[in-house]
Amino acid sequence: MKIVTDSAELRRGMAPLRGQKIAFVPTMGCLHAGHLSLIRRARELAYLVVVSIYVNPRQFGPNEDLDRYPRPFERDAALCAETGVDLLFHPDSLYPTNDPQVTLTLNPAHTLSSCLCGAARPGHFDGVVTVVNILFNLVQPDLALFGEKDWQQLAVIRRMVNDLQMAVEIVPCATVREADGLAMSSRNHYLSAGERQLARHIPEALQQMQQAAADGTCDAHALIAAAERTLAAVGLTAEYLEIRHAETLAPLTRVDDAPARAFIACRIGATRLIDNIPLIFSRS
Ligand code: PAF
């Protein structure tokens, strides 16, 4: 595996490989089984697998965890090598100047960017699309793989690729979960043992909603209220717990006439965790 740390070197390294099918997995490092599943899928789909590790300051708000975000680079590089990555891109910065004058901005009035994490983390998705655009320009992949745990990010990136007519196929990959259902996330590292125990109630609340929809409850308000009670019983309050259209992210009042998904963000101590699940209504 080749490790490259600046953009010019990346371009030079990629030049002879153009024409081969390239799959790209952008990450912020602190790799876990979820990232490794993306890399393995990339390995199946393409001739060349490129992974980036870059903790993008532009997608963190002023009071967020940029400084404490874990950066175990040696371990990450070993995992990439073991999992069959051909090229690991690990730049110090991706912005040619400290004061870039051209960045991408999502329409703030559109549901896609104004709801869920877009509402809770102003500017977050602008930072994500700006950096993913830069990475796509450098790597020029045929495919890019993203985890469904960050469903809204996936929807925003799909929209960017569509609106800007980028020649990249976006490949979604299923959320990888711990044995008790907790979605794999680099932020799970922040949890103390007690917080980790509490965190399992997040997927539990989502699974309860999924089961209730499958058992014939179609009223979104009723599904949400029951899940909120489950969380409240263990002292948790969601930052948001909502049911939305899986593609447009428009709010839904019923889950029986559109592809529905439940979305949650919940703080456990100082750690903000997110998750989501499909809701498939069945008339019982
Ligand atoms: O999902 C992430 O790890 C990041 O948001 C991404 C896509 C690498 C952009 O910084």
Q: What is the CATH number of the domain that holds 254?
A: 3.30.1300.10
Using CA atoms, how far apart are residues 200 and 249, in angstroms rounded to an integer? 25
Tokens of 198: 């509490």
Statement: residue 122 has pLDDT above 90 = yes
Please check whether residues 109 and 240 belong to one and the same domain.
Answer: no
> Whose C-alpha lies nearest to ligand 1, atom 3?
27
Considering the domain architecture, whether residues 27 and 110 belong to the same structural domain is answered as: yes
Alpha carbon distance 238, 212 (integer Å): 19
Rounded CA-CA distance 77/210 in Å is 37
For 224-270, how does the pLDDT look when each residue is reduced to its tens digit (9 = 90+)?
999 999 999 999 999 999 999 999 999 999 999 899 999 999 999 99
Backbone angles phi, psi at 192, to 5 degrees: -75, 170
* CATH code of 14's domain: 3.40.50.620
Residue that finishes a domain, picked among 173, 198, 218:
173
Question: Going edge to edge, which strands form the sheet with 22-27?
Answer: 2-4, 87-89, 48-53, 22-27, 143-147, 169-173
Which residue, judged by its Cα, is nearest atom 2 of ligand 1?
27
Residue 181 lies in a domain: no
- Whether 98 has a pLDDT exceeding 90, the answer reads no
pLDDT digits (tens, 9 = 90+) for 32-57: 999 999 999 999 999 999 999 999 99
Residue 90 annotated among the catalytic residues of the structure = no
Looking at 120, 150, 173, which one is the last position of a domain? 173
- Whether residues 147 and 204 share a domain: the answer is no
Position 257 scores a pLDDT of 86
Q: Answer yes or no: do 45 and 126 share one domain.
A: yes
Statement to judge: residues 41 and 113 lie in one domain = yes
Question: Within this chain, do residues 21 and 143 fall inside the same structural domain, yes or no?
Answer: yes
Both 67 and 156 in a single domain? yes
| Confidence bin at 96 (pLDDT 50/70/90) | confident
The reply to whether 180 falls in a domain is no
Number of folded domains that form the chain: 2
In a domain, 128, yes or no: yes
Task: State the distance from the centre of ligand 1 to the C-alpha of 1, rounded, in angstroms.
Answer: 22
Amino acid at 153: Q
Determine the distance from the C-alpha atom of residue 173 to the mean position of all C-alpha atoms in its chain, rounded to a whole number: 10
- 284 lies in some domain: no
Looking at residue 219, the DSSP 8-state letter turns out to be B
* Closest-CA residue to 268 (of 244, 243, 237, 240): 237
Query: Could you report the per-residue pLDDT of 188-231, keeping only the tens digit for each?
Result: 999 999 999 999 999 999 999 999 999 999 999 999 999 999 99
Are 17 and 68 within one domain? yes
For the stretch 134-190, pLDDT in tens is: 999 999 999 999 999 999 999 999 999 999 999 999 999 999 999 999 999 999 999
Please identify, by atom number, the ligand 1 atom nearest to the C-alpha of residue 28: 3
Tokens encoding 110 = 């559109």
Determine the angle formed by the axes of helices 124-139 and 7-14, rounding to 10 degrees. Answer: 40
What confidence category does residue 97 fall into, taking pLDDT thresholds of 50, 70 and 90?
confident
The answer to whether 227 touches 242, Cβ cutoff 8 Å, is no
Would you say residue 284 has pLDDT above 80? no
Domain of 52 in residue numbering reads as 2-173
Q: From residue 281, how far is each of 90, 133, 154, 207, 256 by CA, in Å?
A: 44, 37, 23, 13, 5
86 with 12, same domain: the answer is yes
- Alpha-carbon distance of 170 to 173, in angstroms, equals 10
- 262 and 226 in contact (C-beta within 8 Å)? no
Instruction: Give me the torsion for CA of 28, 31, 37, 41, rounded to 10°.
Output: 50
Cα(80) to centroid(ligand 1), Å: 16
- Whether 141 maps to a domain, the answer reads yes
Q: Are residues 34 and 159 in the same domain?
A: yes
| Domain membership flag for residue 213 | yes
Q: Is residue 149 part of a domain?
A: yes
Looking at the structure, tell me whether residues 51 and 122 fall in a common domain.
Answer: yes
The pTM of the full predicted model, rounded to 2 decimals, is 0.97
- Which residue minimizes the CA distance to atom 9 of ligand 1? 128
Show which of 151, 173, 195 is a domain's final residue. Answer: 173
In the numeric block, which tokens belong to residue 60?
């963190």
Are the beta carbons of 23 and 143 closer than 8 angstroms?
yes
Pocket of ligand 1 (CB under 6 A): 26-28, 56, 59, 128, 131-132, 150, 153
What sign for the dihedral angle of Cα 41, 46, 48, 53? Answer: negative
Distance CA 106, CA 115 (A): 12
Give the rounded distance of the alpha carbon of 98 from its chain centre.
Answer: 26
Q: Does some domain include residue 110?
A: yes
Q: Are residues 24 and 161 in the same domain?
A: yes
Supply the pLDDT for residue 31: 98
Which pLDDT value is given to residue 196? 98
C-alpha 28 – ligand 1 centre gap (Å): 6
In the beta sheet, which residues pair with residue 267? 272
- Contact status, residue 156 vs residue 106, Cβ threshold 8 Å: yes
